[in-house]
Structure 1
């Protein structure tokens, strides 16, 4: 079996289901994990699913994925707009990167329209709620088939 796809989520995504459900939906991060695992299994793949509110922890996991993973799906949340360190880690990862967002950042506040992560991403999936993660896992699996 190929190496797992790392599915990483940034700050405040642990609050899914309760934080601004009109933007982010009512599904919890645990619901998202189950959806991603089911899709990965149907594709004959495995995932490593993690969330952190801490930038350095996310960077550690990105670096881990360099050798232990086949691709990275990342929802950087607010760090996408601020973290050059995450960008640098993704550029050094040398595996496909799929950026993922529950909402459509381009349809929101101006400061959300661009992310540093996009500079390292093979592609971006956004605006489909929890299904964005599932589509991103599918894309990552396709990039590493």
Structure 2
């Protein structure tokens, strides 16, 4: 499963929505955000994620520039996004420099952008929920890796 695909993010949303016990502990989230993955030789991939309560309510591919209509977006090269998801696959969760918090604070690989300070605030306020959302990819990424040699 390619990380730069709607099916990948639909899978993450399904995992979140089917695991209320994990997300109830973190509390409600109210965030409309986007992820931008800059592909080297083709159009960039953009996905809008709308979180409400303890669910991901919307996963939608969006056009160039539409990310600016969300509260915040995280933007980086597909290579750097792949690095983060490779770390998640290897460790069961993002570690060290590959956590969303670290990667966006450093800003050298993947950058957090927002139209106003509230977007920045909400990203950091809900950071652990977002981290758990992407960390949930580990089993699927590992299953796919184990099937490559089969």
Does TM, normalized by the shorter one, top 0.5? no
Structure with the higher fraction of residues in strand conformation: 2
Q: TM-score, normalised by structure 1?
A: 0.32
Say which one has the larger Rg: 2
Which structure has the higher relative contact order (CA within 8 Å, separation 6+)?
1
Q: TM-score, normalised by structure 2?
A: 0.31
